[in-house]
Chain A
């Protein structure tokens, strides 16, 4: 494992002595009356792959453009490796960008495209040649050095764009929807390759994407954005298993939200009275709240179990009727209608091959989840 990965593996963001490589301090961007980025602060450490995840219009691309120097800040600071970037134009920043459209120079060969940035640095020709060749090998495009962009496929163009940005060994590589134009299969392969390349070079990546799966695969940490604000920052596991609010819970994957009020608030547990579940939901962690306070409990569909039989000593148990079944091959999605009318979604892996399912439309089933499968969200 490279040093970079070791650093990321050690979770520098948990180390109070670690100095962040990229500091985004209270950055705001307004276009006239419209606030695109609203007082965003982030600390990103060297060697991370940090993903800004959000839907369209959330401000993530604008934030990326401010990092690269293509947009000015309305207020705030961007500090890269200790240097404030205010007033520094894009061609003088220690960042390089991989564009969503790849933006390869159509009139230059692959080789010349990659060499362009090095020429601007004024490096000697021999060194440029070596670095270009090395980079071509890294992205496995050696055979295409003399081709022009219009002669390449989408995936090939993407590699050239990546190579061109990385060859300058920037302090920060900014990627704008890097997989956006690729089809699903290619996307998965490329994601792993991208991680390998990043590990071997140790460059810090900031990736902008709307694709959750991509963010979960690539990132050391994810920053979830909506309407110009960061709503949660954490590792993929943290974001998924411990969403801090409704938006994050709902945005990543699917989730069942049970509305209710705090009935019991103990030292290490909470019970949420939930009329629509017909149950007092047990959650094994305490929260800072008041009895009677309105909260919600989020439970992921795959954490639930359903069965026609009794579910034994699962902490939270309900019953309902199967309304919809979606057979997806590797798993099945069940929509269960509870007695209260609320619909709950349950995912089950299809562990066994069989011609028919044991669970059918209209069946009454028991469903439940372990105590620690749910999490309370207050906002």
Chain B
């Protein structure tokens, strides 16, 4: 039954329009001369200029970038080890526990995660004397924790699909298990690691709620700054920022999609 009903197709198109219209409007109105964001007043790039002259936004962007880079990397490391352990190791005592912990952050409301982590940091402060002051470090820890959960989903599914016999082949040819991991397993799951990294990176850059809870003075992330701005209403320099982020994200996606189709060719399944 390959014939698709007309109405289904129309519905699909409408669905995609629904998904993309707001994004496109953000980009379009970032070039709007008028401050009234939704009334077109002519083409202008002045808001981009304003954006780059705003120290608050630039500082916050720098903070967010550093946090995202660090937490994405940490997320992939934790996520990879967790995935490997859950998929490859047969049975161990804390397997169910680890499995639940690595998937729970995916569905937990952010306010709960944020609150819990903040209270934890405060408790650790009073008991261990660390962390001293909340800031970039605590945000990185928080982001790495839920980032690892997302990365683990991607990496686990790749590990499960992977043809185990190539690991056995490497063992058979004389490679020690640790060597097998670095020579064979890691290169083969590399695309999944990359996807996981990108996902964790995006989530970190985008996070408002958790960062608000665990941050400290002097460490405002970009979403925090944007949020305080837009609470008061629309703001065209935010549109400009949005356009830039959308542009960068789109380029990233396309690169990633090309990578995925290349790796699909390589895997022998």
Contacts and interface: CB of A to CB of B under 8 A. Distances in A.
- Does A touch B (CB under 8 Å) in the complex? yes
Interface of A: 68-70, 89-92, 95-97, 99-107, 116-117, 120-121, 148-150, 164-165, 168
Contacts of B265: 150
A91 B174 contact: yes
A117 B173 contact: yes
A107 B188 contact: yes
Contacts of A100: 165
Interface in B161-190: 163, 165-166, 168-177, 179, 183-184, 187-188, 190
Given A91-B171, A91-B174, 15 more contacts: A91-B175, A91-B177, A96-B173, A103-B163, A104-B166, A106-B188, A116-B175, A120-B173, A120-B175, A150-B265, A150-B266, A150-B267, A164-B169, A165-B173, A168-B174
B268 interface: yes
A95 B171 CA distance: 11
Contacts of A70: 168, 171-172
A102 B169 CA distance: 9
Given A99-B165, A101-B163, A101-B165, A106 B172 contact: no
A90 B172 contact: yes
B152 to A, nearest CB: 22
A69 B168 CA distance: 10
Interface of B: 163, 165-166, 168-177, 179, 183-184, 187-188, 190, 265-268
Determine which residue in B171, B177, B190 has the highest number of CB atoms from chain A within 10 A of its CB, and name it: B171
Given A91-B175, A106-B188, A116 B266 contact: no
A120 B187 CA distance: 18
A164 B166 CA distance: 12
A105 B188 CA distance: 8
Nearest to A70: B168
Given A105-B184, A120-B175, A168-B174, A90 B168 contact: yes
A121 B169 CA distance: 15
Contact of A168 (B165, B173, B266): B173
Nearest to A174: B172
Contacts of A105: 166, 169-170, 184, 188
Nearest to B162: A106
A107 B168 contact: no
A99 B184 CA distance: 16
6 contacts: A103-B163, A106-B266, A116-B173, A149-B266, A150-B266, A168-B174
A105 B176 CA distance: 16
A370 B199 CA distance: 77
B27 to A, nearest CB: 38
5 closest Cβ contacts across the A-B interface? A120-B174, A117-B173, A103-B165, A103-B169, A107-B187
Given A99-B165, A99-B169, A101-B165, A107 B174 contact: no
A103 B184 CA distance: 11
A96 B266 contact: no
Contacts of A103: 163, 165-166, 168-169
A117 B266 contact: no
B174 to A, nearest CB: 3
Contacts of B168: 70, 90, 97, 99, 103
B268 A149 contact: yes
A366 B187 CA distance: 69
Contact of B266 (A99, A101, A107, A121): A107
B14 to A, nearest CB: 39
B174 A121 contact: yes
Determine which residue in A95, A104, A107, A121 has the highest number of CB atoms from chain B within 10 A of its CB, and name it: A107
Contacts of A91: 171-177
B173 A164 contact: yes
Contacts of B174: 91-92, 117, 120-121, 168
A60 to B, nearest CB: 17
A112 to B, nearest CB: 10
B129 to A, nearest CB: 46
A107 B166 CA distance: 11
A363 B163 CA distance: 57
Nearest to B167: A103
Nearest to B190: A107
A165 B173 CA distance: 7
Nearest to B264: A150
Contacts of B172: 68-70, 90-91, 95-97, 165
Nearest to B265: A150
B171 A101 contact: no
Contacts of B184: 105
A150 B187 CA distance: 15
Contacts of A92: 174
Contacts of A116: 170, 173, 175, 183
B261 to A, nearest CB: 12
Contacts of B267: 106, 150
A89 B176 CA distance: 9
Given A91-B174, A91-B176, A117-B174, A97 B169 contact: yes
A53 B27 CA distance: 68
A124 to B, nearest CB: 16
Contacts of A69: 172
A169 B107 CA distance: 54
A310 to B, nearest CB: 60
Nearest to B179: A120
A28 to B, nearest CB: 21
A373 to B, nearest CB: 45
B166 A106 contact: yes
A105 B172 CA distance: 13
A256 B119 CA distance: 82
Contacts of B175: 91, 116, 120
A237 B173 CA distance: 35
